């Protein structure tokens, strides 16, 4: 149980283009989903919290117009990196919260490379 998928697992895009990453909870409904960014050999940095049907809450310093988050259903959240630049290259990980306790269940991550 508590399986979260992400798609794609890897993506390479050109500078200036946009990339969409999907996060799905496969066997439970997620009232809240989280998006993290992780740099090499560093811990997880929370970017934003998204609740189904409402606007995402972004952490300080995260550009909401650059990282668009949509949480259209209880099993799907998307992160769109708009007008990507090489400095956006990173490992993006989503997690889903099933609504009880505090445990979050993580997706496998998406490696974004912007050339």
Partner 1 sequence: EDQVTQSPEALRLQEGESSSLNCSYTVSGLRGLFWYRQDPGKGPEFLFTLYSAGEEKEKERLKATLTKKESFLHITAPKPEDSATYLCAVPPIEEYGNKLVFGAGTILRVKS
Could you say which of 56, 93, 112, 114 contacts partner 1 (CB under 8 A)?
A: 93
- Closest approach of Cβ 79 to partner 1, in Å? 14
CA–CA separation, 85 and 81 (whole Å)? 9
Would you count residue 97 as binding partner 1 (CB under 8 A)?
yes
Q: Which is nearer to partner 1, 50 or 88 (CB)?
A: 50
Would you count residue 90 as binding partner 1 (CB under 8 A)?
no
Q: Which is nearer to partner 1, 34 or 67 (CB)?
A: 34
Of 31, 37, 30, nearest in space to 3 by CA: 30
Q: Which is nearer to partner 1, 80 or 109 (CB)?
A: 109
- Rg of the chain in Å (alpha carbons): 13
Confirm if 95 and 77 have CB atoms less than 8 A apart.
Answer: no
Confirm if 91 and 37 have CB atoms less than 8 A apart.
Answer: yes
CA–CA separation, 50 and 84 (whole Å)? 21
Q: Which is nearer to partner 1, 84 or 107 (CB)?
A: 107
Could you say which of 42, 73, 83, 115 contacts partner 1 (CB under 8 A)?
A: 42
Would you count residue 27 as binding partner 1 (CB under 8 A)?
no
């Amino acid at each position: 149980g508590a399986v979260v998928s992400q798609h794609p697992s890897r993506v390479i895009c050109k500078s200036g283009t946009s990339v969409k990453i999907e996060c799905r909870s496969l066997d439970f409904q997620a009232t809240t989903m989280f998006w993290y960014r992780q740099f090499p050999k560093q811990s997880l940095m929370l970017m934003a919290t998204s609740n189904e049907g409402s606007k995402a809450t972004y952490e300080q310093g995260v550009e909401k117009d650059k990282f668009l988050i949509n949480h259209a259903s209880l099993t799907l959240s998307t992160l769109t990196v708009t007008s990507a630049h090489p400095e956006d290259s990173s490992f993006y990980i989503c997690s889903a919260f099933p609504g009880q306790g505090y445990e979050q269940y993580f997706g496998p991550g998406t490696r974004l490379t912007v050339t």
